[in-house]
Amino acid sequence: MFELISRNRKVYTRDRLAFFMSFLSVIILILVYQVFLGQIQIDAIKEALGSDTASSDTIKMVNYWLISGLTTIVSMTSTLGAFGVMVSDKEKKLSEDFKVSPISNFKVELSYAIFAILFGIILTMFSCVFAIGIFNGFSSLLDYSAMDYLKIFGIVSLSTVLSATIVLPILALIRTSSAFSTLSTIVGTFIGFISGVYLSIGSVGETLQQVMTWFPMTQVNALLKQVLMKDSISQVFENAPSSVVNEYKESYGVVLQNASGAQ
Protein backbone atom coordinates (compact mmCIF):
# COMPACT_ATOMS: atom_id res chain seq x y z
CA MET A 1 0.00 0.00 0.00
CA PHE A 2 2.78 2.43 0.95
CA GLU A 3 4.52 1.78 -2.38
CA LEU A 4 1.32 2.57 -4.29
CA ILE A 5 0.78 5.82 -2.37
CA SER A 6 4.42 6.81 -2.95
CA ARG A 7 4.04 6.00 -6.63
CA ASN A 8 0.93 8.22 -6.86
CA ARG A 9 2.83 11.08 -5.22
CA LYS A 10 5.71 10.83 -7.69
CA VAL A 11 3.36 10.71 -10.69
CA TYR A 12 1.37 13.71 -9.46
CA THR A 13 4.33 15.95 -8.61
CA ARG A 14 5.76 15.40 -12.10
CA ASP A 15 2.66 17.01 -13.63
CA ARG A 16 3.16 20.73 -13.01
CA LEU A 17 -0.04 21.71 -14.82
CA ALA A 18 -2.15 19.54 -12.51
CA PHE A 19 -0.40 21.08 -9.51
CA PHE A 20 -1.14 24.58 -10.82
CA MET A 21 -4.80 23.72 -11.39
CA SER A 22 -5.12 22.99 -7.67
CA PHE A 23 -4.45 26.68 -7.05
CA LEU A 24 -6.46 28.17 -9.93
CA SER A 25 -9.58 28.80 -7.84
CA VAL A 26 -7.45 30.35 -5.10
CA ILE A 27 -5.93 32.78 -7.60
CA ILE A 28 -9.43 33.70 -8.77
CA LEU A 29 -10.55 34.25 -5.18
CA ILE A 30 -7.61 36.53 -4.36
CA LEU A 31 -8.25 38.60 -7.50
CA VAL A 32 -11.97 38.92 -6.74
CA TYR A 33 -11.18 39.83 -3.14
CA GLN A 34 -8.64 42.47 -4.11
CA VAL A 35 -10.89 44.02 -6.78
CA PHE A 36 -14.14 44.40 -4.85
CA LEU A 37 -15.12 41.65 -2.38
CA GLY A 38 -12.95 42.79 0.51
CA GLN A 39 -13.90 46.46 0.14
CA ILE A 40 -17.62 45.65 0.06
CA GLN A 41 -17.35 43.89 3.41
CA ILE A 42 -15.20 46.65 4.92
CA ASP A 43 -17.72 49.30 3.81
CA ALA A 44 -20.57 47.29 5.36
CA ILE A 45 -18.69 47.02 8.67
CA LYS A 46 -17.93 50.76 8.71
CA GLU A 47 -21.62 51.49 8.15
CA ALA A 48 -22.69 49.07 10.89
CA LEU A 49 -20.25 50.63 13.35
CA GLY A 50 -20.99 54.20 12.26
CA SER A 51 -17.35 54.82 11.41
CA ASP A 52 -15.78 56.69 8.50
CA THR A 53 -12.58 54.69 8.53
CA ALA A 54 -11.66 51.03 8.81
CA SER A 55 -9.27 50.14 11.60
CA SER A 56 -6.37 47.74 11.17
CA ASP A 57 -8.34 45.24 13.29
CA THR A 58 -11.22 45.42 10.80
CA ILE A 59 -8.94 44.75 7.84
CA LYS A 60 -7.31 41.90 9.76
CA MET A 61 -10.72 40.36 10.52
CA VAL A 62 -11.83 40.59 6.89
CA ASN A 63 -8.56 38.97 5.84
CA TYR A 64 -9.29 36.06 8.18
CA TRP A 65 -12.70 35.76 6.53
CA LEU A 66 -10.92 35.46 3.17
CA ILE A 67 -8.38 32.97 4.54
CA SER A 68 -11.20 30.74 5.82
CA GLY A 69 -12.76 30.70 2.36
CA LEU A 70 -9.41 30.18 0.67
CA THR A 71 -8.67 27.23 2.95
CA THR A 72 -12.08 25.71 2.22
CA ILE A 73 -11.55 25.95 -1.53
CA VAL A 74 -8.02 24.52 -1.39
CA SER A 75 -9.22 21.55 0.67
CA MET A 76 -11.53 20.64 -2.21
CA THR A 77 -9.38 21.55 -5.23
CA SER A 78 -6.16 20.00 -3.90
CA THR A 79 -7.93 16.75 -3.02
CA LEU A 80 -9.65 16.69 -6.39
CA GLY A 81 -6.38 17.51 -8.16
CA ALA A 82 -4.61 14.58 -6.51
CA PHE A 83 -7.21 12.25 -7.99
CA GLY A 84 -5.83 13.27 -11.38
CA VAL A 85 -3.39 10.37 -11.04
CA MET A 86 -6.33 7.96 -11.05
CA VAL A 87 -7.85 9.59 -14.14
CA SER A 88 -4.48 9.57 -15.91
CA ASP A 89 -4.05 5.86 -15.16
CA LYS A 90 -7.48 5.17 -16.64
CA GLU A 91 -6.71 7.22 -19.74
CA LYS A 92 -3.39 5.43 -20.30
CA LYS A 93 -4.96 2.03 -19.55
CA LEU A 94 -2.54 1.54 -16.65
CA SER A 95 -5.49 0.56 -14.49
CA GLU A 96 -5.83 -2.52 -16.72
CA ASP A 97 -2.23 -3.45 -15.91
CA PHE A 98 -2.98 -3.28 -12.20
CA LYS A 99 -5.84 -5.74 -12.66
CA VAL A 100 -3.48 -8.48 -13.86
CA SER A 101 -0.96 -7.80 -11.08
CA PRO A 102 -1.02 -9.50 -7.64
CA ILE A 103 -2.32 -6.25 -6.13
CA SER A 104 -6.06 -6.27 -5.51
CA ASN A 105 -8.18 -3.65 -7.25
CA PHE A 106 -9.46 -2.52 -3.84
CA LYS A 107 -5.92 -1.66 -2.69
CA VAL A 108 -5.25 0.28 -5.88
CA GLU A 109 -8.45 2.32 -5.52
CA LEU A 110 -7.78 2.85 -1.81
CA SER A 111 -4.26 4.10 -2.52
CA TYR A 112 -5.69 6.82 -4.79
CA ALA A 113 -8.06 7.96 -2.04
CA ILE A 114 -5.45 7.88 0.74
CA PHE A 115 -2.95 9.82 -1.36
CA ALA A 116 -5.57 12.42 -2.31
CA ILE A 117 -6.65 12.92 1.31
CA LEU A 118 -3.09 13.13 2.67
CA PHE A 119 -2.02 15.48 -0.10
CA GLY A 120 -5.13 17.60 0.46
CA ILE A 121 -4.45 17.89 4.20
CA ILE A 122 -0.79 18.86 3.75
CA LEU A 123 -1.40 21.40 0.98
CA THR A 124 -4.44 22.91 2.70
CA MET A 125 -2.68 23.33 6.05
CA PHE A 126 0.30 24.91 4.30
CA SER A 127 -1.98 27.25 2.35
CA CYS A 128 -3.85 28.30 5.50
CA VAL A 129 -0.71 29.03 7.53
CA PHE A 130 1.02 30.75 4.60
CA ALA A 131 -2.05 32.89 3.86
CA ILE A 132 -2.22 34.05 7.50
CA GLY A 133 1.41 35.12 7.27
CA ILE A 134 1.02 36.86 3.90
CA PHE A 135 -2.23 38.73 4.59
CA ASN A 136 -1.89 39.54 8.31
CA GLY A 137 1.83 39.17 8.95
CA PHE A 138 3.68 36.09 10.17
CA SER A 139 3.55 37.44 13.73
CA SER A 140 -0.21 36.78 13.56
CA LEU A 141 0.57 33.06 13.64
CA LEU A 142 1.43 33.53 17.31
CA ASP A 143 -2.11 34.76 18.04
CA TYR A 144 -3.34 31.16 17.97
CA SER A 145 -2.78 28.51 20.62
CA ALA A 146 -1.78 24.91 20.05
CA MET A 147 -5.42 23.96 20.62
CA ASP A 148 -6.51 26.39 17.88
CA TYR A 149 -4.11 24.77 15.42
CA LEU A 150 -5.39 21.33 16.41
CA LYS A 151 -8.92 22.54 15.69
CA ILE A 152 -7.84 23.90 12.31
CA PHE A 153 -6.08 20.61 11.51
CA GLY A 154 -9.18 18.65 12.51
CA ILE A 155 -11.45 20.83 10.36
CA VAL A 156 -9.08 20.60 7.40
CA SER A 157 -8.85 16.81 7.76
CA LEU A 158 -12.64 16.56 7.88
CA SER A 159 -12.90 18.82 4.86
CA THR A 160 -10.53 16.76 2.72
CA VAL A 161 -12.34 13.52 3.61
CA LEU A 162 -15.66 15.16 2.70
CA SER A 163 -14.13 16.45 -0.53
CA ALA A 164 -12.95 12.97 -1.49
CA THR A 165 -16.39 11.56 -0.69
CA ILE A 166 -18.10 14.20 -2.82
CA VAL A 167 -15.87 13.94 -5.91
CA LEU A 168 -15.28 10.17 -6.09
CA PRO A 169 -18.73 9.33 -7.54
CA ILE A 170 -18.26 12.05 -10.17
CA LEU A 171 -14.76 10.83 -11.06
CA ALA A 172 -16.17 7.41 -11.86
CA LEU A 173 -17.57 9.06 -15.02
CA ILE A 174 -14.34 10.85 -16.00
CA ARG A 175 -12.03 9.02 -18.39
CA THR A 176 -9.76 11.68 -19.93
CA SER A 177 -7.41 14.35 -18.59
CA SER A 178 -9.14 17.07 -20.61
CA ALA A 179 -12.49 16.20 -19.04
CA PHE A 180 -10.81 16.14 -15.64
CA SER A 181 -9.34 19.62 -16.17
CA THR A 182 -12.76 20.95 -17.12
CA LEU A 183 -14.29 19.32 -14.04
CA SER A 184 -11.60 20.83 -11.80
CA THR A 185 -12.33 24.34 -13.08
CA ILE A 186 -16.09 23.91 -12.66
CA VAL A 187 -15.80 22.41 -9.18
CA GLY A 188 -13.40 25.10 -7.97
CA THR A 189 -15.72 27.87 -9.13
CA PHE A 190 -18.85 26.12 -7.85
CA ILE A 191 -17.33 25.57 -4.40
CA GLY A 192 -16.47 29.26 -4.18
CA PHE A 193 -20.10 30.24 -4.71
CA ILE A 194 -21.97 27.49 -2.86
CA SER A 195 -19.81 27.68 0.28
CA GLY A 196 -20.24 31.44 0.65
CA VAL A 197 -16.75 32.52 -0.41
CA TYR A 198 -17.37 34.51 -3.62
CA LEU A 199 -20.75 35.70 -2.29
CA SER A 200 -21.59 36.22 1.36
CA ILE A 201 -24.47 34.03 2.46
CA GLY A 202 -26.44 37.08 3.59
CA SER A 203 -26.41 38.61 0.10
CA VAL A 204 -28.59 35.92 -1.49
CA GLY A 205 -32.24 34.94 -1.14
CA GLU A 206 -33.56 32.70 1.63
CA THR A 207 -33.97 29.65 -0.62
CA LEU A 208 -30.38 29.80 -1.84
CA GLN A 209 -29.22 30.47 1.72
CA GLN A 210 -30.78 27.19 2.83
CA VAL A 211 -29.18 25.30 -0.05
CA MET A 212 -25.81 26.79 0.88
CA THR A 213 -26.13 25.92 4.58
CA TRP A 214 -26.93 22.29 3.72
CA PHE A 215 -23.74 21.94 1.67
CA PRO A 216 -20.92 20.35 3.74
CA MET A 217 -18.20 22.74 2.55
CA THR A 218 -20.26 25.75 3.70
CA GLN A 219 -20.32 24.23 7.17
CA VAL A 220 -16.57 23.64 7.00
CA ASN A 221 -16.08 27.28 6.01
CA ALA A 222 -18.18 28.41 9.00
CA LEU A 223 -16.16 26.23 11.40
CA LEU A 224 -12.91 27.71 10.11
CA LYS A 225 -14.26 31.24 10.50
CA GLN A 226 -15.24 30.53 14.09
CA VAL A 227 -11.66 29.54 14.90
CA LEU A 228 -9.73 32.05 12.78
CA MET A 229 -11.98 35.08 13.39
CA LYS A 230 -12.82 34.51 17.06
CA ASP A 231 -10.50 37.12 18.58
CA SER A 232 -10.67 39.63 15.73
CA ILE A 233 -14.49 39.74 15.82
CA SER A 234 -14.37 40.48 19.55
CA GLN A 235 -11.90 43.32 18.95
CA VAL A 236 -13.73 44.91 16.02
CA PHE A 237 -17.20 44.75 17.59
CA GLU A 238 -16.05 45.35 21.17
CA ASN A 239 -18.31 48.39 21.68
CA ALA A 240 -21.07 47.39 19.26
CA PRO A 241 -24.52 46.09 20.30
CA SER A 242 -24.90 42.31 20.25
CA SER A 243 -27.49 42.67 17.47
CA VAL A 244 -24.83 44.17 15.18
CA VAL A 245 -22.40 41.35 15.98
CA ASN A 246 -25.03 38.68 15.38
CA GLU A 247 -26.12 40.28 12.11
CA TYR A 248 -22.55 40.31 10.86
CA LYS A 249 -21.97 36.68 11.84
CA GLU A 250 -25.16 35.56 10.09
CA SER A 251 -24.63 37.69 6.97
CA TYR A 252 -21.05 36.54 6.44
CA GLY A 253 -21.49 32.88 7.34
CA VAL A 254 -19.65 32.79 10.64
CA VAL A 255 -22.74 31.10 12.06
CA LEU A 256 -25.31 29.27 9.95
CA GLN A 257 -29.05 29.19 10.45
CA ASN A 258 -31.64 26.70 9.24
CA ALA A 259 -35.11 27.57 7.97
CA SER A 260 -36.49 27.86 11.52
CA GLY A 261 -33.79 30.37 12.46
CA ALA A 262 -31.92 27.95 14.74
CA GLN A 263 -28.13 27.95 14.56
Residue 256 lies in a domain: no
- Please state the domain count of the chain: 1
Residue 257 has pLDDT above 80, yes or no: no
pLDDT at 39: 78
Looking at residue 99, its pLDDT comes to 62
How many CB atoms are located within 10 Å of the residue 32 CB?
Answer: 16
Weakest mean pLDDT among 65-69, 78-82, 106-110, 133-137: 106-110
Count Cβ atoms below 10 Å from residue 241 Cβ, excluding itself: 10
Taking the C-alpha atoms of residue 190 and residue 9, their distance in angstroms, rounded to an integer, is 27
Q: What is the mean pLDDT of residues 5-9?
A: 79
Average pLDDT of the chain? 84
Is residue 20's pLDDT more than 80?
A: no
Residue 86 binned pLDDT confidence (cut-offs 50, 70, 90): confident
pTM (two decimals): 0.87
pLDDT recorded at residue 228: 95
Annotate the chain with DSSP letters as a single string. Answer: -HHHHHHHHHHHHH-HHHHHHHHHHHHHHHHHIIIIIHHHHHHHHHHHHT-SS--HHHHHHHHHHHHHHHHHHHHHHHHHHHTHHHHHHHHTTHHHHHHTSSS-HHHHHHHHHHHHHHHHHHHHHHHHHHHHHHHH-GGGGGGS-HHHHHHHHHHHHHHHHHHHHHHHHHHTT--SHHHHHHHHHHHHHHHHHHTTSSS-GGGS-HHHHHHHHHSHHHHHHHHHHHHHSHHHHHHHTTTS-HHHHHHHHHHTTSS---TTS--
pLDDT for 223 = 96
Q: How confident is the model at residue 262 (pLDDT cuts 50, 70, 90)?
A: low
pLDDT at residue 155, rounded to an integer: 97
pLDDT of residue 98: 63
Q: How confident is the model at residue 221 (pLDDT cuts 50, 70, 90)?
A: very high
pLDDT of residue 164: 93
Q: Which band of pLDDT confidence, cut at 50, 70 and 90, is reported for residue 4?
A: confident
Domain enclosing residue 82, as ranges: 2-251
Distance between CA 202 and CA 103 in Å, rounded? 51
Is 202 part of any domain? Answer: yes
Does residue 146 form part of some domain? yes
- According to the model, what pLDDT value does residue 23 have? 67
Given a cut of 90, is residue 44 above it in pLDDT?
no
Q: What is the pLDDT of residue 129?
A: 93
> Which has more pLDDT, 162 or 11?
162
| 209 found inside a domain | yes
Ramachandran assignment for 50, one of left (phi > 0), alpha (psi -120 to 50 degrees), beta (any other): left
The answer to whether residue 6 sits within a structural domain is yes
Greater confidence (91 vs 94) lies with 91
Is 99 part of a structural domain of the chain? Answer: yes
Is residue 262 domain-resident?
no
pLDDT interval class at 147 (50, 70, 90): very high
Give the model's confidence band at 49: pLDDT under 50 very low, under 70 low, under 90 confident, else very high: confident
- Note whether residue 258 is domain-resident: no
